[in-house]
Structure 1
């Protein structure tokens, strides 16, 4: 299997820094509650001096959404949505230990983190512009078709596993209690992303090792080395 961005995405967003991690052996029968406060405190400290929309990581994604002709305050990247909810409620709902952990990492780094169940992916995932005939399973259960030219995470079966790039994931490949193998993707566009994304991957890999005793394979992609094979 492989993960990659299309040549067109790299041409339009040369500042992109994607980090990828794959791991096998996760389960829902663990607790991560004692590991979240440290990450939440990082987000609290940052939000004490600025709103999420003022953070450089979020501003970079807002500019990207504007370039994609999306209204940034209508369609937010996943990390901005999490930070916004966390600022208002000072907590996030518990979903699954791995999702809770990755959401906390996303809060701390202000970088979108997507987690996919590998068994629901056909052959590969490519971040590319949609043709408009891809199928996307929403969490409501409805099947949607992305708009032409919308940025999606598409597999070999022409299924979109995320819409509007870092805005919304699909129910199809969402992590569930039976999930064992995962693909985790973190993408950043801000100045300093080349340092922050590897730190984020290292944080997730360390947590996977500590909580689940599994080893992760990681990689940081670039325009010259755009493909991650696993």
Structure 2
């Protein structure tokens, strides 16, 4: 039975981090399945785009707390030059006025939750994992083909990443997912994750996880299980 485990070298850098995992099993992520409720999902994403402006109150983008806390976190480990965490990437689109557009039903749902709560959210197709999934520091060279890329861009030594036996699943913590494990219309069992490095957002993290689980079953069917992980509870069965 496979597990998700967060290793000691991660906790050495981020002892106060909290991770919420939502296992969504038996879902249907096709546009055909959600056709009748697609307008609701679109409205959910549109509303979250508007609501996310509440996180952009500082005159300088990088000084907004949701941004600054993650930039500080990214300074604690080796990263590919210029990368930013996923919530910063979403909020940058909000600041520019372009907004976050639709991708596929489940990605749209977790992006809406991410924007509403100001927390990084991500998702992977669980059935693509090879062995256990780890949140850990990279040895370096873990295979990775990013979404939209044609050439591999493998992990750096000391980088925080999600990985399995075959390579990197998500590089630079939550910067970018890989093509091998991405959520698609064929995804039936999804590993969804929400992360926090700010102890002040612990309640928001738990609320976001519950909301993501509720929305996933509401629109995509299946069942969900929510597990909260921290330094004293650092692994779970998938």
TM over 0.5: yes
What is the correspondence of 1:113-192 to structure 2 with a 5 Å cutoff?
113-139=121-147, 140-157=149-166, 159-192=167-200
1:38-71 CA-to-partner distances (Å, cap 9, x unmatched) read 3223212333566653332322211111122549
1:4 and 1:34 map into 2 onto residues whose CA distance is: 35
The corresponding residue for 2:108 is 100
Separation in 2 of the partners of 1:49 and 1:208? 33
Instruction: Identify the residue that residue 27 of structure 1 maps to in structure 2.
Output: 29
Q: Is 1:6–2:15 an aligned residue pair? A: no
Matched, 1:200 2:201: no
CA contact (8 A) 1:20 1:228 kept: no
Secondary structure at 1:192 match in 2: helix
User: Unpaired runs of 5+ in structure 2?
Assistant: none
> What is the distance in 2 between the residues matched to 1:66 and 1:49?
21
Question: What CA distance in whole angstroms lies between the structure 2 residues aligned with 1:116 and 1:130?
Answer: 19
Contact 1:17–1:193 under 8 Å retained in 2: no
Q: How many residues align?
A: 228
Take 2:162 and 2:126, find their aligned partners in 1: how far apart are those partners? Answer: 13
Coordinate RMSD, CA, aligned: 1.9
Structure-2 change in CA distance of 1:71 and 1:150 (3 Å): closer
Q: Is the 8 A contact 2:136 2:162 kept in 1?
A: yes
Work out which of the residue numbers 36, 44, 54 in structure 1 matches 2:63.
54
Gapped runs of 5+ residues in structure 1? none
Q: For the residues of structure 2 that align with 1:40 and 1:93, how far apart are their CA atoms?
A: 9
Aligned with 1:66 (options 75, 89, 92): 75
Distance 1:35 1:197 in 2: 19
Residues 52 and 83 in structure 1, CA contact (< 8 A), matched pair in contact too: no
Task: Please give the alpha-carbon distance, in whole angstroms, between the structure 2 residues aligned to 1:35 and 1:47.
Answer: 20
